[in-house]
Amino acid sequence: MNRGQIRFQVRERLRKSGIPRAALEADILCSEVFGCSREDLLAHPERQVEPEEENRISSLAEARIARVPVAYLKGRASFWGLDLLVGPGCLIPRPETEVLVETALELFRKGRFLDWGTGSGCVALALLSEREEATALMMEKSPLALLWAWRNLNRFPFRHRALLWHGNSIRRIPSSWLPLDLIVGNPPYIPSSEIPLLMEDVRLYEPILALDGGPDGLQDVLTILRDAENALVSGGWLLLEIAGSEQAETLRATSNQAFELACVRKDFAGKERIAVWRRR
């Protein structure tokens, strides 16, 4: 069998099982196994395929049909131009989280910051890559996710400017890290009742601890808001990703003596996404 034939076969298998972008995903899986670019795959359909390659592509297609996310199959995801390792146990970085990074970079030039729920480490790594005089405390509750953050941190030259911390509360941050200049976080914010409605790719494979934000999705957001009071310097910033306008409205209506809600930034799709508070 040649590359063109196998590409067509995989595309048809994915299409028949209802995968929305079957042609694109078939090419991604084939390129992954052949170790070539998509352009190279299209340019040389005549190249012969080794039996091991055929088996490998077939098992990747089978896993995709079972709705395993493509990023987990590739073992990689791109975020803020960084190539990150991902797999079961850590959330796949999303494009809207880049707005969190963008906003943080506008407000923060140097100092200490906390990345609450670091997951793959994407947010902290993006900020460290842009701010040479910053140090990061990368906090994560899930040991599995922490392992992905560790794998990723170790691939970058600025690893000495970060500490991975297996923790679940700002209240227990080591005192040597306080006060912080910035807290960023993409906490779980999906209301529990909406979890069963998520796409299978997400619902079946991405960690529930990264998704479920309790009854109104704001459980962790409000805990962070409460605990950040004693961890941030006066004038310091707290930036959290949220689900959209409903949560933004709730937060606008939540009075807080320690923080002023400066703004809620929209993502590329126009959804209210990044809540920005300033410590008074």
CB of 30 to ligand SAM, least distance (A): 27
| Shortest-Cβ-distance residue relative to ligand SAM | 117
**187 lines the binding site for ligand SAM (CB under 6 A):** yes
Which residue, 143 or 270, is less far from ligand SAM as judged by CB?
143
- Residue 168 CB-density burial (10 A; 0-12 exposed, 13-18 middle, 19+ buried): middle
**142 lines the binding site for ligand SAM (CB under 6 A):** yes
CB of 118 to ligand SAM, least distance (A): 5
**119 lines the binding site for ligand SAM (CB under 6 A):** yes
**183 lines the binding site for ligand SAM (CB under 6 A):** no
Measured CA to CA in angstroms, residue 183 lies from 24, 30, 123, 153 at distances of 37, 40, 11, 19
The stretch among 33-41, 43-51, 137-145, 228-236 that binds ligand SAM (CB under 6 A) is 137-145
Q: Which of 31, 120, 135, 152 binds ligand SAM (CB under 6 A)?
A: 120
CA 102 to chain centre: 14
Which residue, 25 or 212, is less far from ligand SAM as judged by CB?
212
**118 lines the binding site for ligand SAM (CB under 6 A):** yes
The stretch among 30-38, 110-118, 128-136, 151-159 that binds ligand SAM (CB under 6 A) is 110-118
| Chain residues that interact with ligand SAM, rule: CB under 6 A | 91, 93, 97, 116-120, 122-123, 139-142, 145, 168, 186-188, 209-210, 220
